[in-house]
């Protein structure tokens, strides 16, 4: 039996001053409307919105990959994001997507297993998804037909596999943006 790991939220601290809402241009304010969060507009969003056109393009794509209905189940998308973020060393994204996976599945078993470095305790589908996300993140050119066959062997169809590739791949980009633009720190 694996003891449960409780991941505390992290704060993301920008290296570039975020746009202040009170000082945002009409274009920046309009761009921030594509943010899916019902919560406050984060410092990360306010940092990215320095370039409102790029922010909108990035966020529309991100939303289409992570929040679209149909295809790969949302927890599986989060697992792909988590695997990528762990490989890419983005602690902030890893914690966010680990917590989101646990919330969606109403279980922290998978997250605990991964954070205790016991992926061998995962079920076959989760293990295949996690393994593929890590491999795709570490060396995309080394992903093979056998990797796709492994996903198919646990019941994934082509649409789910493509969705997993999208979810994992966008975190190659998202993690790099977060690393360059700021750093994670334990929440106080």
Burial grade of 17 (CB within 10 A; 0-12, 13-18, 19 or more): exposed
Terminal CA-to-CA distance of the chain, rounded, Å? 31
Say if residue 38's pLDDT is above 60: no
* Residues 94-141 pLDDT 10s: 999 999 999 999 999 998 898 888 889 999 999 999 999 999 999 998
Residue bearing tokens 């295809």: 71
Q: What backbone phi and psi angles, to 5 degrees, belong to 14?
A: -75, 150
Look at residue 148 in the predicted model and tell me its pLDDT: 95
Mean pLDDT of the chain: 91
**Torsion on CA atoms 162, 168, 172, 174, rounded to nearest 10:** 100
Say if residue 40's pLDDT is above 90: no
């Amino acid at each position: 039996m694996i003891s449960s790991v409780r991941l505390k939220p992290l704060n993301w601290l920008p290296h570039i001053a975020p746009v202040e809402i009170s000082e945002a241009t009409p274009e920046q304010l309009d761009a921030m409307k594509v943010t899916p969060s019902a919560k406050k507009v984060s410092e990360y969003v306010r940092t990215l919105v320095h370039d409102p056109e790029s922010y909108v393009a990035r966020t529309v794509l991100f939303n289409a990959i992570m929040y679209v209905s149909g295809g790969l189940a949302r927890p599986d998308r989060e697992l792909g994001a988590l695997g990528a973020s762990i490989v890419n060393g983005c602690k902030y994204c890893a914690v966010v997507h680990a917590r989101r996976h646990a919330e969606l599945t109403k279980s922290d078993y998978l997250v605990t297993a991964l954070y205790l470095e016991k992926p061998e305790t995962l079920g076959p589908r989760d293990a295949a998804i996690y393994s593929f996300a890590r491999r795709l993140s570490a060396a995309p050119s080394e992903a093979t037909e056998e990797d796709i066959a492994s996903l198919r062997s646990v019941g994934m169809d082509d649409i789910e596999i493509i969705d997993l590739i999208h979810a994992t791949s966008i975190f190659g980009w998202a993690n790099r943006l977060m690393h360059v633009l700021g750093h994670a720190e334990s929440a106080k």
